[in-house]
Structure 1
Amino acid sequence: MRIGFFDSGVGGITVLYEALKQLPQEDYIYYADTDHVPYGTKSKEDVLRYALEAVEFMAAEGIKALVVACNTATSIAINTLRQRYDFPILGMEPAVKPAVEKCCSKRILVMATPLTLKEEKYQNLVTRLDHDHLVDGLALPELVTYAEEFQFDPDEIKTYLRSRLNGYDLDQYGTVVLGCTHFPYFKGILKQLFPEGTNIIDGSAGTICYLKTVLGQRNLLSSSGQGNILFYSSGRREPLNSRYTHYLDYLHHSKI
């Protein structure tokens, strides 16, 4: 059986890319809810409904585990999904914990969607970990649009980011947390904008490492898969050489 990955669009490809590196002998289903992207500006009720519909489709296709490769969908739907299904379901959350543990008293900037930053799940995470009040949040919904449009022109992205970072003293920040799975596509550009030595992190590697552990504990690891991927756009099967493969190629050549 395959491992399922679900996102509102192409952001989860950054997490799938990590899975292909750590678990090359597995096969995958990737479901992008392109009819409803972006999630980060939608209502909680809509996001929950979209997530339930997507996972119902994937469960019918047959999956042995699911990664909700979307921070917004995780914050809204993960508990409900775990109540409905018996297979392991892993979610994404901004990597605040490792950022706080390694911050060395410098500030931490969490970049995410508006809905992720507003959600109680994120607020509770920060309250629990940020004892020294070092964590700031910045909503960057337009980065989702840029990624969905395969718009990675450095000059345009830098202009946008500089406008959103105007007023922030970047020298104060030791760590930038990419709290949306669409944002790692822009990691290289962000490194150029922040002072040298700024740590830019996301949760993909840790999530897939945990997935590997969970599969091993349940005797679900495969040795016969070949990294084959079935791509779906809101339930519609995509050809092998779909737009999604271009994102995997971009990540590979960017060495992100």
Structure 2
Amino acid sequence: MSLNGSIGVFDSGIGGLAITQEIRKLMPNEDIVYVADSLHAPYGEKTDAAILQRSIAITEFLLTQNVKAIVVACNTATTSCIDALRQRFNIPFIGTEPGIKPAVLNTKSGVIGVLATPRTLQTNSFSALADRVALNIQVELMPCPALVEQVESLQLDYAAAKDVVAQYVTPLMAKGVDTLVLGCTHYAHLLPVITKVAGPQVTIINTEVAVAREVQRRLHQANLMGEKQQGGSTQFYTTGNPTQFQRQVDMLWGAGFQVAQC
């Protein structure tokens, strides 16, 4: 692995762009390669075996792009198979876990809510995380199968998204939740809507900044921080329709970046 290699990032779609933006802010001179597995999205209702198969395929592609670390910018893939990826490949993997620990530290009511994909909530690693850090705290789980598609279709404004968000958030508020964990990277793109639906009394826990800081820490630890003095490049790939992905990148990242199919 080279100091001047890229940081690889992958997600089932565009959810990981929010983490990638934080990585770019924190490490402006690092090169980044982002892969959206759009053809096989969403991951939230797939089996562990299917998620691992896709994660291996994307990792193998990223390794051809001279990456020095890989960010699994998908809660479902992290909870499902990051341990298997670490055993299989000799490269640092940084995952994304729901921010249950900061939610536990924040709650005053003793009731926290977790919005996530059905698969994330079913994994043993998620259950272990909740059991480990949420002692004496009531954890209300809400599977949100429709939110990923809401984001992928770029229906992100309040008028377009309020009803689908409310069907998941409102029942949690009725149970006394005062701290809400976004347990899927896609949901960050709906943060303004979720915040408005939940109301000012609810704290929203999002982990993009924490993940970016962990990437920086791991690169420092492994002596893999880049030596470039100029701004880093960002390359975008998708396994799906490049025209659709281009539209998504233009809206969420900014115009002027070309995408390619992989």
TM-score by length of 1: 0.91
Query: Residue 77 of structure 2 aligns with which residue?
Result: 73
Look up the equivalent residue of 1:6 and give its one-letter code. Answer: F
Contact 1:170/1:195 (<8 A) preserved: no
Query: Residue 151 of structure 1 aligns with which residue?
Result: 155
Once the two structures are TM-superposed, the CA of residue 142 in structure 1 deviates from its matched residue by: 0.9
Matched, 1:244 2:258: no
Once the two structures are TM-superposed, the CA of residue 242 in structure 1 deviates from its matched residue by: 5.7
Contact 1:5/1:67 (<8 A) preserved: yes
The percentage of aligned residue pairs carrying the same residue is 33
* Distance change in 2, residues 1:169/1:3 (3 Å): closer
Q: Which moves more between the two structures, 155-164 or 233-242? A: 233-242
Query: Residue 55 of structure 1 aligns with which residue?
Result: 59
Paired residue for 2:138, among 123, 134, 137?
A: 134
SS in 2 for 1:11: coil
* Distance change in 2, residues 1:195/1:241 (3 Å): closer
Look up the equivalent residue of 1:231 and give its one-letter code. Answer: F
Paired residue for 2:26, among 22, 25, 30?
A: 22
Once the two structures are TM-superposed, the CA of residue 122 in structure 1 deviates from its matched residue by: 0.4
Could you list the per-position Cα deviations for residues 180-221 of structure 1 after superposition, in whole angstroms to 9, with x for gaps in the alignment?
Answer: 000011111111112314211111111111111111122211
Matched, 1:234 2:233: no
Between the aligned partners of 1:190 and 1:171, the Cα distance in structure 2 is: 17
Q: Which moves more between the two structures, 155-164 or 111-120? A: 155-164
Paired residue for 2:222, among 193, 218, 223?
A: 218
Paired residue for 1:4, among 5, 8, 32?
A: 8
* Distance change in 2, residues 1:173/1:2 (3 Å): same
Look up the equivalent residue of 2:137 and give its one-letter code. Answer: H
5 Å matches for 1:161-200?
161-170=165-174, 172-200=176-204
* Distance change in 2, residues 1:141/1:241 (3 Å): closer
Could you list the per-position Cα deviations for residues 11-49 of structure 1 after superposition, in whole angstroms to 9, with x for gaps in the alignment?
Answer: 000110110111111010000101100000111111111
Could you list the per-position Cα deviations for residues 67-108 of structure 1 after superposition, in whole angstroms to 9, with x for gaps in the alignment?
Answer: 000000111120111112222110011000111122124311
Contact 1:54/1:234 (<8 A) preserved: no
* Distance change in 2, residues 1:108/1:204 (3 Å): same
TM-score by length of 2: 0.89
Once the two structures are TM-superposed, the CA of residue 135 in structure 1 deviates from its matched residue by: 1.2
Matched, 1:107 2:111: yes
Between the aligned partners of 1:240 and 1:26, the Cα distance in structure 2 is: 23
Between the aligned partners of 1:154 and 1:193, the Cα distance in structure 2 is: 9
Between the aligned partners of 1:209 and 1:120, the Cα distance in structure 2 is: 26
* Distance change in 2, residues 1:237/1:142 (3 Å): closer
Aligned length: 250
* Distance change in 2, residues 1:150/1:235 (3 Å): closer
Q: Which moves more between the two structures, 207-216 or 103-112? A: 103-112
Look up the equivalent residue of 2:92 and give its one-letter code. Answer: P
Could you list the per-position Cα deviations for residues 141-172 of structure 1 after superposition, in whole angstroms to 9, with x for gaps in the alignment?
Answer: 21100111111131231111223345443582
Q: CA RMSD in A?
A: 2.2
Contact 1:116/1:122 (<8 A) preserved: yes
Between the aligned partners of 2:62 and 2:243, the Cα distance in structure 1 is: 14
Paired residue for 2:42, among 28, 38, 42?
A: 38
Contact 2:48/2:80 (<8 A) preserved: yes
